[in-house]
Chains A and B, each alone.
Chain A
Amino acid sequence: MLWQRFRQGDEEAFTLLYQRYVRVLYSYGKKLIADEAVVEDLVQDLFIDLWQSRSRLADAESPRFYLFRSLRRRIHKNCNGRFNERWDLIDEEFHPVALPKESEIIESEQTQKQKDELDAWLKSLPGRQYEVMMLRFYQDFSYSQISQILTINEQSVRNLVQRAVSKLRQLTISILSSGLFLFFLK
């Protein structure tokens, strides 16, 4: 509905679209580019371009998918070769998963600390793996949509998820003994 109103030139619908998606898009951009000013520019350009080409946009497409895909392409274009260095060509071995020391965890009774370990795991994921996990499990995109956003094939997307999760498995085994699972029984 919103999308159709927007395509007919409804400014209010455009603003609503913006309000709905700007935060996640910006945050996604920040994960790929460190410079805040550049991310702001790219997100603004995305919405300006969206407005100017509204009459030519397809009907059935999901706005969220459309916006993520466009932003990703923009980022890729803007960064030229530098982008690849950081994300596409990174050898995963450069980011070893920092497994917490078991003894340390058994001593600690604070769940906060264990949560930190998991955060550290997330941060230690190679860029692509993190990106795929985020798109799949936070943004709820289908595997086929993710493969279009990243312009890689669907099987590669699945592989990236599998690799990230298998690292997690090593991690959870080592912290299980500390009784981490109790924190969600509260």
Chain B
Amino acid sequence: MGYYHYEVTDFLEDQYFKSWVLTPSQETCDFWNNFLLTHPEKAETIAGARAVLLGIRSEMEADFPTDGQVSAMLDEIHTRKSSASRWPMRRLWLRLGASLSAAAVVLLVIGWARQPNRHDSHVSYEELLSAVEAPLVEQTNTTTSPILLTLPDSSTIRLQPKSSVSYRKDFVRNALREVYLSGQAFFTVTKNRHRPFVVYSNELVTKVLGTSFMVKAFEDAKQVEVCVKTGKVSVFPRTDTEVCEGIASPELAGTIITPNQKVLFSREQTQLRKGLVDEPEILASAVLPAPLLKFQDMPVSVLLNNIEETYGIDIVYDHRLFGECLLTASFTTESLYEKMDLICKGIEASFEVIDGKMIVTGRGCN
């Protein structure tokens, strides 16, 4: 063995050396003690390398969570992963193809029945503020370009011209992080499951745990708009008392929107409608696959599946008609809509956006 000319880094890289330091056995101890006796000039180097390995290990272990923490976290993971399993849901959705329309009717009826009292009409920013008892901090953008504000919890607000936000002076100590908005703003919220972040704008309430999203709620506009860039956002009318009661809990109730989706709230009809944002973007996510850019004789189902995953949207189509169609093409900088146009041209189909989903229809290619 050439250990006599090793430097610190060489020892650190050496598996046999490492196994002696971190998990010593009789055999490795004998070997290295013997080596040190015959090469005392390496003692310094070995001492250094050994100290590094042991030091890093003890540093890491010092920050290990307690057993209590480990099991508490696991419990929460189990509850949350089963309550938010959207992928199995979607597969079911596709399989049910035929009974779709029936389901839609049921949903419509439920939606209608759940609608709050209609005569309970407009709520203004001023009215919202007057209902708050604690002293408030208010910021108004009177310039002609957006301004960037930072909240005490490090969340940021990009406030558009002619818009105002207010929050309580004791923002940090309050159980909820509450912000009141008039106009348009983009929020980037730092994550804290224990203190939900809530935006009140006109009659609409938006609740998040940590994400980024835009709210557009001008006093004189007919509708309020919420678009999601990252994470998950829950939106509901102020009049939905059932949801409002659970506002401090980390559960997200009401209408949930995910990246690239938006919600339009009609102030006249106090009605929520889901849609897609004008220019959907590819999601930046650690676990999602890369978008397909070039493909040859690829089944359309694979391609649409990739688009669903990379944009985080749902595409509804008939697998029997389109699943086996083959496509050859390449994408460069096309937007989602342009990509869908190209695909649909290739399989002689058309698409439309309904309730935040893309619906592809046509005669198929058999």
Residues of A within 8 A of B (CB): 15, 18-19, 22-24, 26-28, 30-31, 37-38, 40-44, 47-53, 55-57, 69-70, 73-74, 77-78, 80, 82, 115, 118-119, 121-123, 133-134, 136-138, 161-162, 165, 168-169, 171-173, 176, 180-181, 183-185
B52 close to A133 (CB less than 8 A): yes
B57 within 8 A of A: yes
Residues of B within 8 A of A (CB): 8-9, 12, 18, 33, 36, 43-48, 50-53, 55-65, 69-70, 73-74, 76-77, 80-81, 84-87, 154, 156, 188, 190-194, 210, 230, 284, 286-289, 309
B8 close to A30 (CB less than 8 A): no
A70 close to B287 (CB less than 8 A): yes
In the complex the two chains form, what is the Cα distance from A109 to B56 in whole Å? Answer: 24
- Tell me the dominant secondary structure on chain A's binding face: helix
B47 close to A181 (CB less than 8 A): yes
The answer, among B9, B57, B85, B286, for a CB contact under 8 Å with A74, is B286
A30 close to B191 (CB less than 8 A): no
B9 close to A48 (CB less than 8 A): no
The answer, among A22, A41, A121, for a CB contact under 8 Å with B191, is A41
In the complex the two chains form, what is the Cα distance from A165 to B59 in whole Å? Answer: 17
- Tell me the dominant secondary structure on chain B's binding face: helix
In the complex the two chains form, what is the Cα distance from A121 to B56 in whole Å? Answer: 11
In the complex, given contacts A23-B70, A56-B288, A176-B43, what are 8 additional A-B residue pairs having Cβ atoms less than 8 angstroms apart? Answer: A27-B63, A38-B191, A41-B192, A44-B73, A44-B80, A115-B51, A134-B59, A176-B44
* A77 / chain B contacts, CB cutoff of 8 Å: 230, 284
* B286 / chain A contacts, CB cutoff of 8 Å: 49, 69-70, 73-74
A119 close to B59 (CB less than 8 A): yes
Give the shortest distance, in Å, between A37 (CB) and chain B (any CB): 6
When A and B form their complex, which 8 residue pairs have the shortest distance between CB atoms, in order from nearest?
Answer: A181-B43, A27-B63, A70-B286, A172-B48, A73-B286, A181-B47, A30-B63, A118-B51
Query: Chain B: which residue is nearest A39 at the CB level?
Result: B65
A56 close to B51 (CB less than 8 A): no
Give the shortest distance, in Å, between B151 (CB) and chain A (any CB): 13
Query: Chain A: which residue is nearest B76 at the CB level?
Result: A44
In the complex the two chains form, what is the Cα distance from A38 to B59 in whole Å? Answer: 20
* B53 / chain A contacts, CB cutoff of 8 Å: 137-138
In the complex the two chains form, what is the Cα distance from A40 to B194 in whole Å? Answer: 11
B33 close to A185 (CB less than 8 A): yes
Query: Chain A: which residue is nearest B18 at the CB level?
Result: A137
* A37 / chain B contacts, CB cutoff of 8 Å: 192-194
Known A27-B61, A53-B287, A133-B56; contact A78-B84, beta-carbon cutoff 8 A: no
A48 close to B81 (CB less than 8 A): yes
Known A53-B87, A53-B287, A185-B36; contact A119-B55, beta-carbon cutoff 8 A: yes
B51 close to A44 (CB less than 8 A): no
The answer, among A38, A53, A133, for a CB contact under 8 Å with B192, is A38
B52 close to A52 (CB less than 8 A): no
A40 close to B85 (CB less than 8 A): no
* B58 / chain A contacts, CB cutoff of 8 Å: 119
In the complex the two chains form, what is the Cα distance from A184 to B192 in whole Å? Answer: 45
